[in-house]
Amino acid sequence: MTDRLLKGIGVSAGIAVGPAVVVRWTMPEVPHRVVPRSRVEKEVRRLRAAVRDVKRYLQDLRAKAEDRAGADEARIFDAQLLMLEDKEFLSGVADLIRENHLTAEKAFEFKALEVRDLWTATGNPRLKDRLADFSGVTIRVLEHLMHRGSDELWEGIADPSVVVARELGPGLTVQLDREHVVGLVSEEGTRTSHAAILAHSIGIPAVFGVTGAMERIEPGTMLVMDGTRGTVLLDPTPAEIAEARGRELRRRELATQLDEVASQPAVTTDGVRIALRGNVDLPDEIKAAQEHRAEGVGLLRTEFLITSHTTLPSEDEQTAYFRRVSEAFPGYPVVVRTYDLGGDKLPGAFRMLAETNPQLGWRAIRVCLDRPEIFHAQVRAALRAAAHGQIQLMIPLVTRLDEVDRTRDIVALEAKRLAAEGIEAAATLPLGVMVETPAAAVIADRLAEASDFLSVGTNDLTQYTLVVDRGNARLADRFNPHDPSVVRLLKMVVDAARAAGKPASVCGEMASEPLSAFLLLGLGYDTLSVAPPKLTIVKWMARQVSVARARVAAEQALAARSADAVLDVLRLALAEAVDLKLLDPDARLPGGRRAASLNV
């Protein structure tokens, strides 16, 4: 089957089965023609008229997007409208017409190709995502100038089909008829591309980034595409089609149940309340955390404030951001992680020597303590924001007690200074430790005494414990957070926090995966900080299980000899409460046991 399976990125969940309709929506070939001097200004007027007409067309698409996908998604077309009306770009096109006597379409094409090459050369992934928007605008204007249309692209689709294209822009996506287009496959695009966002909002399964799709998929080829797994299967057998439709039924069944629990508290069947917070990397994730009912933010990353910038953020800028996040979650805590700089995060405003092994070098709290001009401003901003909300501070990559002590001294110093300056700020704030290294786990009892809370970053804890670079594909099978060594360290941390009377949470990827979250509940964690899209499924899992059963599974996991044995224990225990096929269609229980039915 591998020769029939194409892989990409699942950008909109769901499974679609149907024949391929291959769409070749590309820039038209524009003939090179010049015009007499007497017609130059007429060509400029043609350009302006085309821009006006395409603007009206995009405004109509925006209205359609708002009706089908919502107001936020409709704003995607604002970016295209801005591109269309960019004065510098249009002035450059007009200059080409006047100076070289080119037709309006040839001048527009020339300038558009120049911009496309410039954006491509930057290597910036965000600009690459926006190229689809720019290409869409360019094609619309050129086709208008050449008296062509794009409507014929969809006229031949009579049966439910899967559209295959090299690149899909939001303008094409929003026009799709859901009855006739059941799935999208594109060679280009990522999860953050505008076409992907619209496909998700409209509810069309989509797989983007499928290399070779246009070459491998002939028109009419039967496809099974899975927008959850990110796969496209060519020429499926009847059995494969039946299996895919079964997976889709289970996905929809789970989606229905997730909708039912979204507004409910995360309380286990034996009455234990679990706090589910959100991880927020960037400002645009605040809304996602709110929509998924996050009870505050358990990990607010701050690196974006400094990376990709040429200057350091001011204290006022940081204060405003921390307050904005806190105000989005009134009554709930927001845990600000201090800058985790160095390693793979090298800001433009930061100057540092190259290191042979940056992951074990000058990074995170080490950088902050050595660069007071960075750290003190961030501490002051957190204190100022804490006067208006439940702001907490957490320091990453701690390996020594003095790192906590020195940070606490800085908090006290800056609080005193702010008071002396007459600036509104909290007198202090909770200071926590992010446990990411075996060193921190081993001295967790001392760290719990010195700090106000502990939070485990399971990604780095796994990496450092197992001595495996999580980005090394060759060692991917060795990077496993269920390894008995990692499980035992997790238990050490939560026990140390409990003995000191301090709260402990997990903010790494383990908290976002239901099977792993089940283990964490059994180990004793009652606060999890989760990637926003995963909040509801983790809540759903928590509401199906008892902590008592999770504890039994955790005890067995602590005694296991391998990561596979740990997973077997967890699957068997969780299968007593939920149908594992809902969480993982490929789930297999050891010893040939079948997953139990839902016990809701």
Instruction: List CB contacts of 505: < 8 A, sequence separation 6 or more.
Output: 275, 277, 298, 453, 454, 455, 456, 525, 527, 528, 529
Question: Which amino acid is located at 101 in the chain?
Answer: H
Which of 144, 292, 368, 507 is the catalytic position? Answer: 507
Alpha carbon distance 219, 240 (integer Å): 20
DSSP characters over 351-363: -----SSGGGSS-
Is residue 388 annotated as part of the catalytic site, yes or no?
A: no
3-state class (DSSP) for residue 222: strand
203: alpha, beta or left? (left if phi > 0; alpha if psi -120 to 50): left
Question: Which amino acid is located at 140 in the chain?
Answer: R
* Runs of H (alpha helix) within 159-285: 170-175, 194-202, 213-216, 238-261
Which of 194, 200, 292, 482 is the catalytic position? Answer: 194
Alpha carbon distance 506, 521 (integer Å): 10
- For residue 350, CA distances in Å to 311, 368, 373 come to 8, 12, 12
DSSP characters over 389-414: S-EEEEESS--SHHHHHHHHHHHHHH
Is residue 368 annotated as part of the catalytic site, yes or no?
A: no
Torsion, Cα of 139, 145, 147, 153 (10° steps): 10
Alpha carbon distance 519, 513 (integer Å): 10
Alpha carbon distance 218, 163 (integer Å): 11
Alpha carbon distance 207, 12 (integer Å): 7
C-alpha 244: how far from chain center: 26
Q: Are 434 and 504 in contact (CB under 8 A)?
A: no
Burial label, 574 (beta-carbon count in 10 A; 0-12, 13-18, 19+): buried
Q: Position of tokens 């936020």? A: 72
Token pair of 195, please? Answer: 């076409």
Buried b (16+ CB within 10 A) or exposed e, 523-547: bbbbbbbbbbebbbbbbbbbbbbbb
Alpha carbon distance 467, 465 (integer Å): 6
Q: DSSP letter at 467?
A: T
How many other CB atoms are found less than 10 A from the CB of residue 600? 11
Torsion, Cα of 137, 141, 142, 144 (10° steps): 140
Instruction: List CB contacts of 439: < 8 A, sequence separation 6 or more.
Output: 399, 400
Residues classed as catalytic: 194, 507
